[in-house]
Amino acid sequence: MTTSNLFAGRELLSESNLHKVFSSELGGSLSLEPRAESTSVSADGVKEMLGSWRAAIEREAAALARLAPSALTDLPPGCLYENQDQPDWLLAAQACEIFRNPIVSKNAGRLDVKALQRNIRDWLGREGAPTLLIGWGQPKRSAGGLKAFGPYADLAEMYAIGRLLVIVRALEKVAGRPIKLAVLTGGSRFFEAFFTRPALTLRYDQQRQAIADALAGPGVIAFQAYSQAVGDGGHTAISGERAIKFKQTLAGVSDEMAAAKFGTVLLNVDWEHVFAPDPAQRHPAPHGLPLPASVADWLATGDANRLVRAAVTSLISPRHQAACLEMIGSETVLEDAISFIQSVAWESTRKYIALHLMDGGDETAGAPEAGGRNALRLTVHEKDKQRDMPAIFTLGPRGGNQLSQHVLAMVGERGETVFGAYAEFWAGAARAVRLEPQGDYPAFAWLAESGQPLCLSSADDDALLQALCRASAAA
């Protein structure tokens, strides 16, 4: 299996624009150490930013709620919705209009609105607090620094949580009652494929919970590990009957299916876990494949992120391999790392596909029943066979199919916000926005402690805080 055959005619990534970067005329710059100047924000600045975001979320939710009834005014009876002369059916139709707004849902124009109206009517009519349920997110995996600064929740996560909160608040205004949101997190669901560190998964979910509480107050949004909803709460959701089903499904994954997703999985494995410099912290022999001795020896003194970045870049864009070799200084080490990463990623891809297929591609399968919730299910990925399930733009329409765990936020001088992998911004003038190490942070204290940046920004120092305050409104 050669690299050229593997990637021929295929889009490498579904969740970022990195494939465009790899095919661009950047020469060897992808393989060099990324350089970014820094600026900083204080704890008081973060408090001001959070206040501005809370106000913006309320404004956007109120605007969505106002639009919903007016959108129904000129519709002929029975055109889109049923029984609008009955209050409960009319209320459900108004709630549907929130999801039929193209700034909210990727499939706004393709929703089966009559089916969704029935689902919402039943949802609001049942006993128990109405809860939106969505499966979303696992810690950032940087692919050696190509995708992210580090593993922790940053401004991209807050933006996504803010978009979800807008939906919650808008539905509350239409329904006239409290609505909650439950988020099933994916670290345990895909552990067999990505080897995401369990402790890191827990911290990331706690960080997102802290952001949600800072924006919405406690009890509105709750993050829960997938394995807690459908399994035994461990670091993996594969146990018991699910383990048998997983093995059976894996046997049916073809090479063609794996080749189509290889590029995505290659950039999503927790390589920092696999290549940890301390052997005691290293995931041992992923898929039964031992780390090459040359690589293990190199990691004793070398930079693991640099090696991962060089090997991954070489796999995706072989024309950069000469520059990558210069980074590492040993052809044997680089070739062994490339071969190892390719083999691990190939088997990870097969398991990633099997994990999707065994649940029918539904990231919340079984969860409403397991959690005892009165739940209306949402998704982050449009599903052709489930047209009554809204697919949410968690990063707004301009964010497209990207998800916060795969990208950074880049904030412009007027608050305009775009999202992309870190490598996409290397050629620009954006600076890393860090948090001052001392201060009483209502959220993001983990960034102040670790030094991981909050985001990137092209704003000057005197315009930076105002730009961050306006960023949430740039949907």
Least confident of 31-40, 56-65, 214-223: 31-40
Does position 277 have pLDDT exceeding 50, yes or no?
yes
**Residue 29 — pLDDT band, cuts 50, 70, 90?**
low
Q: What is the pLDDT of residue 383?
A: 85
Does position 241 have pLDDT exceeding 90, yes or no?
no
Least confident of 128-132, 239-243, 369-373: 369-373
pLDDT in tens, 384-399: 888 999 999 999 999 9
Q: What is the pLDDT of residue 30?
A: 54
Question: What are the contacts of 195-199 at 24+ separation with CB within 8 A?
Answer: 195/269, 195/270, 195/273, 195/274, 195/283, 195/286, 195/348, 196/138, 196/139, 196/141, 196/270, 196/273, 197/139, 197/270, 197/272, 197/273, 198/235
Q: What is the pLDDT of residue 13?
A: 36
Does position 235 have pLDDT exceeding 90, yes or no?
no
Least confident of 158-162, 340-344, 423-427: 423-427
What does the pLDDT average to over 2-12?
34
Ordered by start, the domain boundaries in the chain are 3-31+244-356, 38-239+363-473
What does the pLDDT average to over 341-368?
82
pLDDT in tens, 281-317: 999 999 999 999 999 999 999 999 999 999 998 998 8
CA dist 421 and 268 (Å) reads 12
Residues 327/333/336/339 CA torsion (nearest 10 deg): -10
Q: What is the mean pLDDT of the chain?
A: 88
Does position 332 have pLDDT exceeding 70, yes or no?
yes
Mode of pairing for the β-strands spanning 180-185 and 130-135: parallel
pLDDT in tens, 402-433: 999 999 999 999 999 999 999 888 878 889 99
Tokens 């982050």 — which residue?
Answer: 380
Q: What is the pLDDT of residue 5?
A: 37
Does position 158 have pLDDT exceeding 60, yes or no?
yes
Q: What is the pLDDT of residue 366?
A: 54
pTM of structure? 0.91
In sequence order, which residues have a C-beta less than 8 Å from that of residue 421 and are 6 or more positions away? Answer: 16, 17, 18, 21, 146, 147, 148, 406, 407, 408
